[in-house]
Structure 1
Amino acid sequence: DERPEHRSFHKMISVGTDLYVFGGCGSSGRLNDLHKFDTIHQTWSNLGKAHLLKGRGGANLIYLKDGHCLIVVAGFVGSESNDGQKFILSTEEEEKGTWDDSLLEGLDNLRPRSVCISASFHHDDAATDDNVALIFGGEVNPSELGHEGAGGFENDLILLDGKTGALKETIKAAEEKNWPEPRGWSDGTSISTADKGRSLYLFGGLTGDDQNPKRLDDFWCCDIKM
């Protein structure tokens, strides 16, 4: 049976008709494995472990259409992290795909974090071919109270190269007038169309500190113009 073991704190995304599940926390500890579910044939495939990464929860799992790959970036490994590894999707030579033998380059200047909002633009009707992947905010300092508290959070917008996953730019909130407050444990998604361009939507999240943790209900749209 190649289905994933019991877990929480994992990440799942879709690519075409396939679903991919990475990492999280299982009965044996933090995990670094990747599984695929084929929604057409209703079958699971175990795609192996990210052998260069520690097991982690709250990672970013992002599809890069231009690079024909998935990337895992950052996550909580006992501390916040900023490393990453690429999984090259299936080809005629590698039916299941394969993990790259080197870490993603250019992430040294990314502040370590987890439980971020992440997305990419990969639809054929996108307004431009200059594709990027995005990471917004996240937890950068975990709370000693765990889920009962609130640690330190970011609200920067990270732009990653749409082919390699390398860090392209970090946009700080101070550079913009209208901007979401710092947060983690949030979620969002991207939309790209030929007429309206590319946008990142995000809703809610956790902010504040251990004395005053606050759950948010705000809704934001960030238009991406390259």
Structure 2
Amino acid sequence: MATSTLRATWRPLSLPAASAHALQRSSQNVSMISTSTFYVFGGELKPRTPISADVLRVAFDRDLAKPADVLTHAAPSSPGQGDAAQWPVARVGAHLLRHPDLTKTCLLLWGGRGGKEMAPLPYSDYEDVWVFDRDTASWFTLETSGDKPPMRSYGTAVGIHEAKDRDKVYVHAGCPVQGRLASLHVLDVATRKWTKLPDAPGPARGGTAITTIAAPGEPARKLLARWGGFCGHEVGGPLDVFDPKSNAWSSHDAKVEGEGVEPSKRSVHGFVELFGDRKVATGGGEEKQALAVMFMGEGEGAPKELGHDGAGKFLSDAYLLLRSKSGAYSFQRLSVEGKVPEARGWFGYDALPLSAGASGHGQDGTRIVVQGGLNEHNERLGDGWVLDIV
């Protein structure tokens, strides 16, 4: 594991006006299936009004030199009803993940808020875990069992591929019919069975983010890390870490290197794993392992009584999550090249490993896609951005 200076570069996707209009939304889901293709589902253009149940596929070239191609898999006129029952209804604040096994050509959808009451969509014959088959552009449902998690919106989810036919999806936090949640559930994709795991440390929250990070000394084994969220106000630290092996949470004070304070409190932000076994040098000269990247989101000072109806104070910054040899966590501001996207929250995002050839820099890295969201002018955005970290 070599010590290096990470190079981070933001670049905008070139989107024709019609494509940017089709992608304009917040509270949507983004799922990357390769470093040059991602899917978009759900979201809202008007507050608390799901935009559509269409599935959008966005493909772009490695150098981002050509306009991206946006393909729409149009939903039937009345999804979830009659002959169109095998298509999920429009929703906001759902959970959409690529299958944890990247050899599988499907996406998994669960939860969200929709329907006439704009409430968490209840379990039914046509509402459980949805599967989108990318090859046929069709949906079907998985009937799950076990200790099913309460339906909710604005939670957070992540998938882990452990081995062949050993794939897990973790669902955490969010907003059920009343209040907010601190619960953690895991779905065994092969058996379709849910298991309830220990609740995370309080407060219960929505708009938080979890990501996978490498376990100390075991880069192939994954932990879950959580930071931020909203519990009536924006939440910051501590950094909470769940170890599936010990089935336990731990909390860690994680300050910004050289500043002695934690990153700005935030919700509806991005938090993704930094792929590859990388070390960076800190200001004090110590080498630390770079684990994840946290970026953007809604900061403190937003008009909470307005919720989706009003814009808040948004952030455009980015931080690396680091871990020392002793196991202490910290953040380090990520210095980026290129034009930085405007501050935002409530956006769709995802990340995948970036090969040395695709990065153009001769070494492996991480590619993050950010799409849409809400800005400080209370505008839903239709843009797309790529952040490459190598």
TM bucket (normalised to shorter chain) is 0.7 to 0.9
The alpha-carbon deviation at position 2 of structure 1 amounts to 1.3
1:135 equivalent to 2:300? Answer: no
Of 358, 365, 372, which residue of structure 2 is paired with 1:204? 372
Aligned-partner Cα distance in 2 for 1:62–1:114: 14
Counterpart Cα distance in 1 of 2:189 and 2:182: 23
Residue 180 of structure 2 aligns with which residue?
Answer: 30
Aligned to 1:59: 208
Write the deviation string for residues 61-86 of structure 1: whole angstroms up to 9, x where unpaired: 11112343101111001110112311
Aligned residue identity for 1:43: K
Q: Which residue of 1 aligns with 2:344?
A: 183
Unaligned 5+ segments in structure 2 are: 1-145, 162-166, 217-221, 256-260, 280-289, 360-364
Structure 1 vs Structure 2 CA RMSD: 2.1
Instruction: Give the counterpart of 2:311 among 147, 150, 153.
Output: 150
More displaced stretch, 134-143 vs 11-20: 134-143
What letter matches 1:87 in structure 2? F
Instruction: Give the number of the structure whose residues are more often strand, by fraction.
Output: 1
- Choose which of 231, 235, 254 in structure 2 pairs with 1:106: 254
Q: TM-score with structure 2 length normalisation?
A: 0.50
Aligned to 1:220: 385
State percent identity of aligned pairs.
Answer: 29
Deviations 1:81-100 (A, max 9, x none): 1123111112xxx4xx2222
| Count of residue pairs brought into register by the alignment | 208
Q: Work out whether residues 323 and 330 of structure 2, in 8 Å CA contact, stay in contact via their aligned partners in 1.
A: no
SS in 2 for 1:57: coil
Question: Which has more radius of gyration?
Answer: 2
**SS of aligned partner of 2:308:** helix
Judged with a 3 Å threshold, the aligned counterparts in structure 2 of structure 1 residues 129 and 176 are, in CA distance, closer, same or farther, namely closer
Q: Check whether the contact 2:322–2:332 (CA below 8 A) recurs between aligned residues.
A: no
Partner of 1:168: 331
TM-score by length of 1: 0.84
Per-residue deviation, 1:30: 1.1
Provide the residue aligned with 1:44 in structure 2. Answer: 194
By relative contact order (CA 8 Å, sep 6+), the higher-ranking structure is 2
SS of residue matched to 1:181: coil
Q: Which amino acid aligns with 1:104?
A: H
